[in-house]
Amino acid sequence: MGMKRYLLLSFLALFVFTASAHALDLEGVQPLAPYSVFSTFSAESLPKGKFDISLGFEKCRHPDFYRYTAQLGYGITDSTEIGITIPLHNEPHNTASFEDIGIALKHRFVDEGKYGPSVAFILTGTVPIGSDEFSTDGSIGAGLAATKKVGPFLGHLNVFYSKALTSRFSDEVIFAGGIDFSASHAFKILGELYGEKSYSGNLDRLEARAGVRLITLENLFTTLGIGYDLKNRTPEYRFMLSLSYLFPSEKKKIKDIYEMEE
């Protein structure tokens, strides 16, 4: 009887943990392509007066869900941008629900030098609009992004701290690093390592991601990627697809991103 009770309690604990982990695999604040890897921000930003609109799709296995994302960004100055992320979470045989809206204000305060990287600070926040299952009831935070170009390689490092606006959740710490390699002026190979201490306080993620980014049409960027959690295999895999369009057209800026001139 004692063993049966122990097994029942263990099963319930595992169920609750899995449900919490699933519920809190949230999109949160995300960067805008092409000034990013996947979830790693670049210190570079949209030029003044330029817009970036992006549509994304994500499929995860274990936990099983789909995510559809719309993003809009605007270059306030040549060193300051604002971005908004609106994610829709959908599980098989369940009702779709919006996650929290993510908002990021990025300002580059150090330009890249001969030896030093460009550095930007990022103020973040989320606004709840969906069900409690996919919400932290809002959050505020801040982070730093550093970017350095070495030949055809562009490296990025991020660290973020975020505090949920409710005592139900612990603080969140995110660290991310990414590299993109310019194979040609219209083709990049992407790699990323993303680590997270989640709001639940016990859901740690260390996810490796790889993919490509292409200029499929003028100012239209297509990003394909796959992710795998190295720590808990949660998710077993994550497939990512996004389309990002920059407007009005400014060919020189796009060239600067993808053609690594000496």
Residue type, 179: I
Taking the alpha carbons at both ends of the chain, their separation in whole angstroms is 73
The answer to whether the pTM exceeds 0.85 is no
Residue type, 111: D
DSSP lists the bridge partners of residue 122 as 106, 143
DSSP 93-122: TS--EE-PEEEEEEEEEE---SSSPEEEEE
- Who wins on pLDDT, 3 or 14? 3
Asked whether residue 10 carries a pLDDT value surpassing 60, the answer given is no
Residue with structure tokens 């505090």?
163
Average pLDDT, integer, range 216-240: 91
pLDDT for 251 equals 54
Cis peptide before 63 (omega within 30 of 0): yes
- Who wins on pLDDT, 10 or 234? 234
pLDDT in tens, 52-101: 999 999 999 988 899 999 999 999 999 999 999 999 999 887 778 999 99
Asked whether residue 20 carries a pLDDT value surpassing 80, the answer given is no
Angstrom distance (rounded) from CA 109 to CA 114? 16
Residue with structure tokens 């070495």?
150
- Who wins on pLDDT, 219 or 199? 219
Asked whether residue 260 carries a pLDDT value surpassing 50, the answer given is no
Say what percent of the chain tops pLDDT 70. 84
pLDDT for 94 equals 79
pLDDT for 22 equals 41
Domains and CATH numbers, the chain: 2-258 (2.40.160.40)
Asked whether residue 151 carries a pLDDT value surpassing 80, the answer given is yes
Q: Which of 71, 70, 69, 62 is nearest to 92 (CA)?
A: 62
Task: Determine contact, residues 91/65, Cβ cutoff 8 Å.
Answer: yes
According to DSSP H, which parts of the chain are helical?
2-23, 251-258
DSSP lists the bridge partners of residue 190 as 180, 211
How far is CA 101 from each of CA 3, 87, 104, 133, 139, rounded to the nearest angstrom? 45, 7, 10, 14, 10
Tokens of residue 169, six digits: 């959740």
pLDDT, the chain, mean: 85
Say what percent of the chain tops pLDDT 90. 63
Least confident of 121-130, 142-151, 162-171, 237-246: 162-171
